[in-house]
Amino acid sequence: MLLHIPDILDAEQIAQFRTRLDGAEWADGRVTAGYQSAQAKRNGQLREDDPLARELGAVVTDAVLRNPTFFAGALPRHVYPPLFNRYGEGQDFGMHVDNAVRYDRTRQPAQTVRTDLSATLFLASPEEYDGGELVIEDNFGTHEVKLPAGHLVLYPGSSLHKVQPVTRGARVAAFFWIQSLVRGDGQRRILFELDVTIQSLTASGADADALLSLTGVYHNLLRQWAES
């Protein structure tokens, strides 16, 4: 399931992020890539232990966990601390698949995170740069994603994906991974669609007994599929 979630950050937050990030010290992005990905990766990235990355990453984590659409789509068990990257002119990231497991070293001992889902939060508006589309391949075809600043795309970590070369300006984004309570993408899709339907029916004033029954179905499926 590929999910576009608007307004994770508001305009004031985006402006604050960009002021801080424009003066940041960008390292070679290959430092966090696996062997295969490093061959295709050309960008700048804040070091994982950079205090600025930790500070802004905490804001992003808090924002996504408070977002009901993100929560319904991801059913997060653990959010890997967000990282930040920058693609300048001529930089790109060729087709790759994310590592299946990451190690969150902000916790002691380090905690393993299975990357069920990948997320990209756009921090530059589409008018600021040319190119830089996130291209995702899944069972439903190929998708090009280039969203407004503050918007996020959530997609299966198992997907092949790439970032097209930037030909003007700079593409700035946060990216991170999520281990979900529900491992299977198909099961998460069913739960998400059921959750959205319940919310819509609730807002329309649907029959209370029917809503109670439908909510029970949702939680019984979640109880069956969720990992402890």
Residues 95, 59 share a domain: yes
Expressed as residue numbers, the domain containing 36 is 3-180
Structural contact between residues 202 and 211, judged by C-beta atoms closer than 8 angstroms: yes
Residues 194, 114 share a domain: no
Residues 80, 152 share a domain: yes
The reported pLDDT for the residue numbered 38 is 61
What is the distance between the alpha carbons of residues 79 and 114, in angstroms, rounded to a whole number?
10
Say how many domains are in the chain: 2
Evaluate the CA torsion angle 219, 220, 225, 228 in order and state its sign: positive
Residues 198, 173 share a domain: no
CATH of the domain at 15: 2.60.120.620
pLDDT per position as a tens digit, 20-57: 999 999 998 776 655 556 677 899 999 999 999 999 99
What string of DSSP letters covers the chain?
--EEE--SS-HHHHHHHHHHHHTS-PEEGGGG--HHHHTTEE-EE--TT-HHHHHHHHHHHHHHHT-HHHHHHH-EEEEPPPEEEEE-TT-EEEEE---SEEEETTSSS-EEEE-SEEEEEE-S-GGG-EE--EEEEETTEEEEE---TT-EEEEETTSEEEEPPEEES-EEEEEEEEEESS--HHHHHHHHHHHHHHHHHHHTT--HHHHHHHHHHHHHHHHHH---
CB atoms within 10 A of CB 176: 23
Residues 214, 132 share a domain: no
Residues 113, 42 share a domain: yes
Residues 28, 136 share a domain: yes
The reported pLDDT for the residue numbered 25 is 92
Residues 134, 23 share a domain: yes
pLDDT per position as a tens digit, 85-114: 999 999 999 999 999 999 998 888 889 999
CB atoms within 10 A of CB 134: 22
pLDDT per position as a tens digit, 151-188: 999 999 999 999 999 999 999 999 999 999 999 999 99
Residues 97, 171 share a domain: yes
Residues 173, 195 share a domain: no
pLDDT per position as a tens digit, 202-224: 999 999 999 999 999 999 999 99
Output the pTM of the full model: 0.93
Residues 168, 138 share a domain: yes
